[in-house]
Amino acid sequence: MSTYLQTIEQVYEQAARQPDASLCCTQAPVWNLPDLRIPPIMLQMNYGCGSTVNPRDLKPSDTILYVGVGGGLEALQFAYFTRRPGGVVAIDPVAAMREKARANFVEATRLNPWFRPEFVQILDGNALALPVASSSASVLAQNCLFNVFKEADLAAALAEVVRVLKPGGFFATSDPITPTPLPDAFRDDAVARARCLSGCQTLDEYLATMVRAGFGRIEVRARFPYRLVTPAEYPSLTEAVLLESIEVVAHKVPDNFDGSAIFTGRTALYTGPDDVFTDASGAVLPCGIPVPVSDAAALRLARHPAIVVTGPTWHARGGGCC
């Protein structure tokens, strides 16, 4: 195993033994649902940088694989929907983290009469070689883990995601990104990388990596300021950088007319004279109603004199025509 991956496991072994609220500073709201009580220890061990799966995307029949269990917060939230053994499988290579998550699920059982520990199966495993069968999960999620991987390992981790997802399934992911490429000396700081700071890609790199992995539809669901890193804290930085966090949902579906479709919240609005505009790409635009479209479709449709295209909101909620 590369030394940087060993450093990452050491950082999280320590974070399992001694919860560290400063490790990741997510402001993402936790789910506030009837009869769901999150144990305080899971909140202290919220090592994510956003949210992954939105409850509106889940079905009780889903089989969800969660990579990098942490304190178990998101896995518990997902189990709220699946409520059956094997409904949620969580993997982690760090024995101390798996042990801590198991203890946290015992506490969750005490607080939530509907929950049983077997609703979340915790496995020893690594994102680079997932210990589950191909096409076995309808949903796969990771929160603030994949940004720590260097390029080749990230490609391997994403290839594993695509292998394990069922056709039509989706990958819900949250990671920090950087507005400009980070200096090499900072990128080489393995502890900063483990703390989800120095491995960040730019948004364009992040989305291009997803496209290369083979997802046919990629939606940027949220984008928000995450954390300021400064030369005073990290001397290998030449200037302060405000990292952002993104939440992305990538679907294992075939490419559409324009190739892999990236949705960033753009819409296309047909202004008439007909009741509806259609074309060979699959565009269906009822007159006067903004319809979500991918960035590539937006560029193409903007050339039509009767179509107005709106800019990215960085909040693509799903749906749309092309």
Interacting residue ranges for ligand SAM, rule: CB under 6 A: 8-9, 12, 24, 46-48, 67-71, 73-74, 92-94, 97, 126-128, 143-145, 196
Q: How far apart are CA 90 and CA 63, in angstroms?
A: 11
Q: Which is nearer to ligand SAM, 6 or 238 (CB)?
A: 6
Nearer residue to ligand SAM within complex by CB, 93 or 320 = 93
Q: Which lies closer to ligand SAM via its Cβ, residue 143 or residue 178?
A: 143
- What is the closest distance, in whole angstroms, from the C-beta atom of residue 287 to ligand SAM in the complex? 44
**DSSP assignment, residue 147?**
G
User: Strand ranges (DSSP E) for 24-136?
Assistant: 64-67, 88-92, 120-124
**38 vs 285, which CB is nearer to ligand SAM?**
38
- Smallest distance from ligand SAM to CB 20, Å: 11
Least distance between ligand SAM and beta carbon 132 (Å): 12
| Smallest distance, ligand SAM to C-beta of residue 93, A | 5
Minimum distance from CB of 158 to ligand SAM (Å)?
13
The pair of three-digit structure tokens given for residue 129, joined into one six-digit string: 């070689």
Q: Which is nearer to ligand SAM, 51 or 267 (CB)?
A: 51
Listed in sequence order, the DSSP H helices in the chain are 3-17, 40-44, 73-82, 95-111, 151-164, 184-187, 190-194, 203-213, 295-301
> Which is closer to ligand SAM, CB of 69 or CB of 248?
69
What are the two backbone dihedrals, phi and then psi, of residue 71, each rounded to the nearest 5 degrees? Answer: -80, -5
The SS3 assignment for 46 reads: coil
Residue 135, number of CB atoms within 10 A of its CB: 14
Partners of residue 175 on adjacent β-strands: 246
Query: Least distance in Å: CB of 74 to ligand SAM?
Result: 6
List, as own/partner pairs, every contact residues 253-258 make where C-beta atoms lie below 8 angstroms and the sequence separation is at least 24, other chains included: 253/167, 253/168, 253/215, 253/216, 253/217, 254/216, 255/216, 256/216, 256/217, 256/281, 256/282, 256/294, 256/297, 256/322, 257/281, 257/282, 257/297, 257/322, 258/294, 258/296, 258/297, 258/300, 258/322
Q: Which is nearer to ligand SAM, 9 or 189 (CB)?
A: 9
Pick between residue 106 and residue 129 the one whose CB is nearest to ligand SAM: 129
Nearest to 249 by CA among 28, 50, 68: 50
DSSP class of 223? E
Shortest Å, Cβ 62 to ligand SAM: 18
Cβ–Cβ < 8 Å for 55, 118: no
Report in angstroms how near the CB of residue 211 gets to ligand SAM at its nearest.
23
